[in-house]
Amino acid sequence: MIFETHAHYDDDAYNDDRDSVIKLLKAEGVAPIVNVGASLTSTEDAVKLAHKYEHVYAAVGVHPSECDALTEDDMVWLRGLCDDPKVIAVGEIGLDYHYDEPDREIQKVWFKRQLRLAQEVSLPIIVHSRDAASDTLEILSMDEFRGIKGIIHCFSYSVELAREYIKMGHHIGIGGVVTFKNGKKLQEIAKTIPLENIVVETDCPYLAPEPYRGRRNSSAYLTYIIDRIASLRSAKYEEIEKATYENAAALFGVRADG
């Protein structure tokens, strides 16, 4: 089985065939699936999907690009969702400096607040970090957050930075970019970091791997990501599939076989 650590099946891209896509995935060998919240609305939808499908679980949280209007009442609401047994992570949370808004200081406030939420409920985190390497590392390195474990999603930084996160106990999320011709940096990471710190993800419907680049992504395409990692490490496909499954199962505390 393949453990999908980051999907967005609540996205409008699946409005026409969501049910058939999700049901088919387990038969295709993909389970569990973590459907990740990115806003208050998508978080609510992620929890609903988790209750509709046995092999789907939810992460609850607000993406940095959506944090501008957050309130403490929203944090109370998220805290309530964390009591749901099908909620297994807080995410995706973090920093995104690719655009000028929301203000960076506001992003930092709500990143820290959601980290405290994860700490309070003893759940792992799923971290989004784009063009914000220094500040993300600085916040996660703070003494109060040192015990939190999670995934640095869609990793886009250096091997050296990946190793810093690994020292802190985090996993590196490797997705479709590892199959791209211009994905040399991620390929080097997939080749060199310890296998016990690698998990696989799609971020579907985004970032489909080759040969589906530019099309709607699917968790079924994780096979291409695993195959590329295996090739880079001169390992067998089955070794990478098993290791990444066990890494994710240990982090989230769930398995396809219960």
The enclosing domain of 119 has a CATH number of 3.20.20.140
Half-sphere exposure of 55 (CA within 13 A, CB side): 23
CB atoms within 10 A of CB 206: 15
pLDDT of residue 256: 86
Blockwise average pLDDT, block size 10, the chain, 258 residues: 98 97 96 98 98 98 97 98 98 96 97 98 98 98 95 96 97 98 97 98 98 97 98 98 98 88
Q: Which amino acid is at 69?
A: A
Q: Which amino acid is at 101?
A: E
The pTM score is 0.97
Within a domain: 228: yes
Copy the structure tokens of residue 226.
């695993």
Helix pair 133-140, 104-121: axis angle to 10 deg: 30
- What does the alpha-carbon distance between residue 217 and residue 109 come to, in Å, rounded to a whole number? 32
Domains held by the chain: number: 1
- What does the alpha-carbon distance between residue 99 and residue 28 come to, in Å, rounded to a whole number? 38
Within a domain: 257: no
Within a domain: 258: no
pLDDT of residue 203: 98
Tell me which residue range forms the domain holding 235.
2-252
Within a domain: 51: yes
Under 8 Å between Cβ of 68 and 39: no
